[in-house]
Structure 1
C-alpha cells in the first residue's frame, strides 16, 4: 500500500505540475471534476481519493505513486532489487560488504520516505551484526526495524522480533529471548494470525534457548510444531534453518541418524541457495552430531571445515563458538595442548556480553584440561568463571553438571563443606528445570 503525503503537500505538487504543463484548473478537472474541486485540492483543504489522484496523474502525465508521494516512478522497485542484491551478498558470507550496501540503501530509503524498504535494510543490517558478532548494533537495528513496521500486522514484524531474540540469546540473556519468542507466538496463535512462515521462524528460533535452559520437552514440542508447519512454507532458506534447529532436539533424544538426515536436508538447501555462512553452520552441527556419537575423527573434519569457512567470512562470533566445540573434540582425541591454545584465543574474542554460553564452555573445558594436568587451582578458577557466566545466562541445562564437576574437585582437595555447597547448587538447578520456570507454554497453532 502506498503511503501518501499530506493533502497540503499533494496540493502544492498538483499545482506545480499543472503550471509546468500550462493547464488551467478547468482543463485539469475535465471531464470528471470541477475547477472548484481542483482549487480546493491545490489549497490543501481536501484529501483526494485514489480515483481522483489517478485521474489527475493521467491528466498530468505522471505515475500515480509519484503524484501521491513525490517519488520518481519505479524507485521502490529499483531499491527492492538492490536490497535483494545485498541479501545475496550477505548469504555468501560477505557480511561487511553487505553491511555497506544495506547502509547505502537505508539512507536512500529514508531520504524518499520508503518505510517498507527502510525496514528491509534495517533487518539486513541486524543480520550483518549477528554474523560479525556486533550484538548491540544488531539489537539496535532490529529494534528500529520493528518501530518502522509498528503499523503493520504482527506477522510482518516477526523477523525483527526474532532478530532481537537471537541477539539477546547470543549475548547470554536466554530468559528474555524466550520471553520475546513465546509472547509473540502467543499473540499470533491466540489472535488467529496463522502465518506459517512467521510461526515456523519463531518455533525454530526458540529451540536453541530452550535446549540451553534445560527445557528439553519444550524444545521437542517446538521442533514437532515446526515440522508440522513445514509443508505450508515455501521459503527454502526458512526450511533449511528449521531443519538445522530441529537437529538439536533429535540429538538430545538420541536420534543421531535422524539428526544427520535433517542436517543433510538443510545443507542441500543451503548449497542450492549458495548460502555460505549457513552452510558452514551445517558443517558445525554435523561435527556436533558426530562428536555426540563418538565419531571424533569425522567430527574434527567437519568442525575444522566450518571454522575455516566462518573465519574466511569474518563471522567472528560464530567462528569463536565453533572453535570451542572443535577444542572439545581435540581434547578428547588427546590433543589437549592444541585445544588449550585454541580456547585461550577464543576467550580473547568472547565475553559475558558477547557469546556468554560459549565463553562458559571454554572455561569449563580449560578447567577439565587443567584437572587432567593436575593443576587444581587453575581448574577451580575456570570452573568458577564458567559457573558465574551460566548463572547469569540462566542456562540450567549446563549448570547442574558444572556444579557436580566443581563439587568433585573441591571434595578431592579436602574442602568438603565447599563441595557440599556446590552439589546443593547443582541440585537446585536440577530440580527446577527450564520447563517449570518458563511459565505456561505458548498457545499452539491450529495445525
Structure 2
C-alpha cells in the first residue's frame, strides 16, 4: 500500500470508531466526496487538511501520518538512540540486541525511514560482532528497498567492506563498481569517496595494484575538490596503503599521518581506532628500530579497541599486530598470548588473519626450541589458507609460511607452500 492508502485507511478507521459519517467529518470545511477520495487513497491531503482532520477526529496528527501516536514515536526514537549509543560505545552485542528488538516492533512497520535506519544499524552491529555472513544478508535485503541516495551508497560501502573482510573479493569489487556507476558515476560526495576507498582496498587485496594506484590518485583529486574532512581522510588513508604496498614507505607514512591528523579532529572513535592501528602497522614495518615505542602504542590500542564499536575482526587484528611487536622485542610469552587471542577471535579457518596468527605462533615456538609445537602451528596455517580465494595477501602468507617451514627443516613442505604462493599470485 502507498502512503496515501495508509493515511486514508487510518482516517476511515478512526472515523468509524468515532461513529461519524463522511459527511459529518467533512462539514463544514470539506466536501464529503473529498473525504471519500482521501479515505480511498485517491487524494493526498495537504498538511493543513490532515491537521484539521486530526482535530475533528480527536486523534494525534502523528497517528494519521505514521500510524503511531506521538508517545509511541517518542519511544521508538528513544530506543533507536540507545541502540546507536551502545554501538558507538563498543557494546556491540547489546547494540545488536536493541536494534533487533526495535526491528520486531510492529509500530515500526509504517515508519519507512526509521525502519531502514534500524535495519542498517542492525547490519553494522552484526558486522561488529563478527557475524559477516549475517550482516551481508541484512544489507542485501536492505539494498532491495527504495532508499535515499546517501543511504544506498552507505549500504554499498558496508556491504563492500563485509565482503572484503570475508575474503570474498570478487563480490566486494562487484558491489563497489556497480554503485560507482562507471561512466554514469554520481557526483563526488563524502559517502561516495568512502565507498571508493573501500573498493580500492578490495582492489589491493585482490592484487590489482596498478588499478589501485590510478584510483588512489583520482580519489586524492576528488578529496581536494570537496575539501571535507571525511573525503580527505578516506583518500589520504587509501593513498597511504597503496604507497606502502607498492614499496613507497615514507610516502605512505606521509599520507597516513595527514589522514590521522584530520581524523583525530573530526572522526568517530571506531574510525580513529582502526586508523591508529593501521598507522602503527605501517610504522612497525617501515621503522622496526622503533619497536619499543610502537609496542607500547599497540598495547594502548588493544584497550582502545575494547572501548569502541570495532568488530571482532578488528580486535583480532590489533592482537595479532601486538603479537608481532612482542615477538620483535623478544617477549615470546606475550607474543604467543596475543597471537592466540587474535586467532580465537576470527572465524574458524577461511580467514587470512587466522593464518597469520598461526604462522607467528610457529615462529615463536621455533625461536624457543619447541619444534613440535612450532610444526603443529605452521601446519595449521594450511587449514586456514586453503579455503581462501587466490589473492595478493594469501600469496604473501603462503610465501611466509614456506620460509618458516624451510627454517624448520621441512624442504618438501616449503616447496609445496612456495608453489601455492605462486598460484595465488597468478604466476
TM-score (norm 2): 0.81
The equivalent residue for 2:127 is: 130
Q: Does 1:102 align with 2:102?
A: no
- The correspondence for 1:189, drawn from 182, 185, 195, is 182
Q: What is the aligned-residue RMSD (CA, Å)?
A: 3.8
Instruction: Give the Cα separation in 2 of the matches to 1:132 and 1:372.
Output: 34
SS in 2 for 1:351: coil
Instruction: Give the Cα separation in 2 of the matches to 1:280 and 1:365.
Output: 23
The equivalent residue for 2:347 is: 351
CA separation of 1:210/1:393 partners in 2, compared to 1, >3 Å: closer, same or farther? farther
Please identify, of 376-385 and 203-212, the stretch whose mean Cα deviation from structure 2 is larger.
376-385
CA separation of 1:66/1:408 partners in 2, compared to 1, >3 Å: closer, same or farther? closer
Instruction: Give the Cα separation in 2 of the matches to 1:397 and 1:269.
Output: 30
Please identify, of 219-228 and 67-76, the stretch whose mean Cα deviation from structure 2 is larger.
67-76
The equivalent residue for 1:58 is: 52
Q: Does 1:324 align with 2:317?
A: no
Instruction: Give the Cα separation in 1 of the matches to 2:331 and 2:259.
Output: 31
Structure 1 residue 318: Cα displacement: 1.8
Query: Deviation digits for residues 347-375 of structure 1, max 9, x if unmatched?
Result: 23323468x12111101212223443455
The equivalent residue for 1:146 is: 143
Query: Deviation digits for residues 104-159 of structure 1, max 9, x if unmatched?
Result: 54345753521211111121222222333233443343334334xx2236653222
SS in 2 for 1:392: coil
- The correspondence for 1:25, drawn from 23, 29, 35, is 23
Query: Deviation digits for residues 147-191 of structure 1, max 9, x if unmatched?
Result: 4xx223665322223223322332333333233223332xx3344
The equivalent residue for 2:378 is: 383
- The correspondence for 1:360, drawn from 339, 348, 355, is 355
Instruction: Give the Cα separation in 2 of the matches to 1:195 and 1:83.
Output: 30
Instruction: Give the Cα separation in 1 of the matches to 2:338 and 2:167.
Output: 21
Structure 1 residue 307: Cα displacement: 0.8
Instruction: Give the Cα separation in 2 of the matches to 1:97 and 1:334.
Output: 39
Query: Deviation digits for residues 287-327 of structure 1, max 9, x if unmatched?
Result: 11210222212321221111121134585432221111111
Instruction: Count residues with an aligned counterpart.
Output: 420
CA separation of 1:222/1:127 partners in 2, compared to 1, >3 Å: closer, same or farther? farther
CA separation of 1:405/1:23 partners in 2, compared to 1, >3 Å: closer, same or farther? closer
Instruction: Give the Cα separation in 2 of the matches to 1:212 and 1:41.
Output: 56
The equivalent residue for 2:115 is: 118
The equivalent residue for 2:173 is: 178
Instruction: Give the Cα separation in 2 of the matches to 1:299 and 1:183.
Output: 39
Query: Deviation digits for residues 414-445 of structure 1, max 9, x if unmatched?
Result: 7655544433333333345xxxxxxxxxxxxx
TM-score (norm 1): 0.77
Q: Does 1:209 align with 2:202?
A: yes
- The correspondence for 2:417, drawn from 413, 417, 422, is 422
Instruction: Give the Cα separation in 2 of the matches to 1:242 and 1:77.
Output: 39
Question: Is the 1:172–1:352 Cα contact (8 Å) retained in structure 2?
Answer: no
Instruction: Give the Cα separation in 2 of the matches to 1:273 and 1:101.
Output: 27
- The correspondence for 2:387, drawn from 392, 396, 417, is 392
Instruction: Give the Cα separation in 1 of the matches to 2:98 and 2:155.
Output: 19
Q: How do residues 179-258 of structure 1 correspond to structure 2 at under 5 angstroms?
A: 179-185=174-180, 188-194=181-187, 196-231=189-224, 236=229, 240-258=233-251
Query: Deviation digits for residues 318-350 of structure 1, max 9, x if unmatched?
Result: 222111111112212222232122212332332
Instruction: Give the Cα separation in 2 of the matches to 1:7 and 1:332.
Output: 67
Structure 1 stretches of 5 or more lacking a match? 433-447
Instruction: Give the Cα separation in 1 of the matches to 2:220 and 2:76.
Output: 34
Structure 1 residue 97: Cα displacement: 4.5
